[in-house]
A and B are shown apart, each in its own frame.
Chain A
């Protein structure tokens, strides 16, 4: 079974600085998808970024980018120019090519200091 591990329960960063959230996963599959979700206090799960395992190029969405290292099974999220609205829980998630369900990590609580 696949597992997702986020080793940083909490992180903090100064506003306008850059922060990197770590995620590692375990799988024997070669085709899969990786995601980062943001969960603000409203509880709404918001998709931040997605990466297909067959793509070597790292995904980027505005201030958000990932460092996908397939051989190391690592999928970190970099947030540039941090803003107060980025404060939230961030979850890393895995989805197999042939499966419907997402496997989530434990989450990292990100605090932005003004």
Chain B
């Protein structure tokens, strides 16, 4: 089992461009969570998705950010018209079930740098 795979590991964008971050959960996991980590801070929850459904997006900024988890393929976190404040590490985690007793498995994150 390859674990949670995130790519790219590093992404550089200029202000105004779009950023697409991909997350392939562990095999058999249908629950995906996205977190953002600003420099020298803890991770902040953004969104929780199951296959083809957004369950909780309470941590997502209202504009420019969107997430999806299609029936086939990885989960995508999309940031339109990036600004310098979007520079952060974005982490994806997955679990097989929505149960607090289930262990969350994290990817190694994507470091987004906005020039």
Contacts and interface: CB of A to CB of B under 8 A. Distances in A.
Nearest to A31: B100
Interface of B: 31, 33, 35, 40-45, 48, 55-56, 58-59, 89, 91, 93, 98, 100-101, 103-104, 106, 108-109, 111
A104 interface: yes
Contact of A101 (B45, B101, B111): B45
Contacts of B56: 100-101
A44 interface: yes
Contacts of B42: 4, 91, 93, 104-107
Contacts of A52: 101
A43 B43 contact: no
Contacts of A100: 31, 33, 48, 55-56, 98
19 contacts: A4-B42, A33-B100, A43-B89, A43-B108, A44-B106, A45-B93, A46-B106, A47-B104, A50-B103, A91-B43, A93-B42, A96-B100, A101-B33, A101-B45, A101-B48, A102-B104, A104-B44, A106-B42, A107-B41
Contacts of B45: 101-103
Nearest to B91: A45
A102 B43 contact: yes
A97 interface: yes
Given A45-B106, A47-B104, A102-B33, 13 more contacts: A33-B101, A43-B108, A44-B106, A45-B93, A50-B103, A52-B101, A91-B43, A93-B42, A100-B31, A101-B45, A101-B48, A102-B45, A102-B104
